[in-house]
């Protein structure tokens, strides 16, 4: 056994606090409310997505946030951009985003309830300089990509962040509710192909692997419940032995719970239309 595993505080045979587990499992969970969970990310070699985007949004740009969630990223970028929209299909997310907007006081931002895959064509064509999504409704397939490109100006930039195949693989090993363990096509390759086939000149294609640390099994569970809810997966019972096994397998010497944080970035530039060529919306122009 490695020195790293010596002195682990939790054993699969140790009784966890079931009342505390039961309270966490019975709570209301959403991806954004899970922000209450205490966690830290080791990002010494890889930047966070917000920092990466902040360095690429320039003054004068009109920006589109596809799947804006609580609006946190978009509000931060509003300091550099001229104006823009954040869209999401969840009314609760839009309410959180508008609350954040009132606190922020930004005058150049608007949030709108919109199912992007169904109604994204309602956005004015070729009206944005920069479009991005963080785990939003585009990146994995052609339809969402085409809708996003329709809204972008020729030469505009499209950025997609997605969960990678290894994201929290530790819980998939025991609970089996994330991506399948083995996939012939990786998330990065799916997104890259979708962009290339729909008229994007790719400039960034990266697997970003980091470590996420939780103080204990209970803080990890707060976050994980939001992921299970998001994927429609069943929650374990408070006495599920896999919870103690998870703690044992993934505890560091200090007692923290260590998991893999894996996201994929794919970004590029909308290829300007050639005379007589097919547009990103399938139309032909002369």
Judged by average pLDDT, the poorest of 35-49, 76-90, 93-107, 224-238 is 35-49
**CB-based contact 167:228 (threshold 8 Å):** no
Distance between start and end Cα atoms, the chain: 68
All domains of the chain in start order, with CATH: 3-270 (3.40.50.150)
Say what the pTM is.
0.84
Give the count of beta carbons closer than 10 Å to the beta carbon of residue 132.
Answer: 28
Q: How far is 33 from 28, CA to CA, in rounded Å? A: 8
More confident residue, 131 or 227: 131
Residue 111 tokens read as: 């949030």
Residue 115 has pLDDT above 60, yes or no: yes
The helix (H) or strand (E) run that includes residue 62 is strand 62-66
Mean pLDDT in residue range 17-42: 88
Q: How far is 212 from 243, CA to CA, in rounded Å? A: 18
Residues 148-188 pLDDT 10s: 999 999 999 999 999 888 888 899 889 985 554 445 458 89
The reported pLDDT for the residue numbered 34 is 67
Residue 286 has pLDDT above 70, yes or no: no
Residues 199-208 pLDDT 10s: 999 999 999 9
């Amino acid at each position: 056994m490695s020195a790293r595993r010596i002195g682990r505080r939790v054993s699969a045979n140790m009784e966890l606090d079931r009342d505390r587990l039961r309270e966490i499992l019975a709570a209301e969970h959403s991806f954004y409310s899970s922000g209450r969970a205490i966690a830290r990310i080791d990002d010494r070699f890889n930047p966070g997505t917000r920092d990466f985007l902040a360095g690429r949004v320039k003054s004068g740009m009109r920006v589109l946030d596809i799947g804006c969630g609580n609006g946190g990223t978009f509000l931060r970028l509003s300091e550099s951009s001229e104006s823009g929209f954040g869209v999401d299909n969840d009314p609760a997310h839009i309410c959180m985003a508008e609350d954040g907007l009132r606190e922020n006081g930004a005058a150049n931002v608007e949030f709108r309830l919109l199912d992007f895959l169904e109604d994204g064509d309602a956005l004015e064509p070729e009206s944005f300089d920069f479009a991005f999504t963080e785990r939003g409704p585009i990146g994995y397939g052609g339809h969402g990509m085409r809708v996003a490109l329709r809204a972008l100006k020729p030469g505009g930039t499209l950025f997609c962040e997605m969960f990678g195949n290894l994201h929290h693989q530790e819980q998939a090993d025991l609970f089996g509710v994330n991506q399948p363990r083995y996939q012939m096509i990786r998330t990065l390759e799916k997104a890259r192909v979708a962009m290339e086939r729909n008229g994007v000149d790719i400039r960034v294609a990266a697997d970003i692997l980091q470590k996420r640390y939780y103080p204990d099994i209970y803080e990890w569970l707060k976050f994980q419940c939001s992921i299970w809810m998001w994927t429609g997966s069943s929650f374990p019972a408070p006495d599920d032995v896999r919870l103690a096994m998870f703690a044992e397998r993934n505890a560091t010497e200090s007692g923290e719970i260590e998991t893999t944080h894996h996201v994929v970035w794919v970004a590029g530039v909308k290829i300007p239309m050639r005379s007589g060529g097919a547009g990103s919306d399938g139309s032909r122009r002369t």
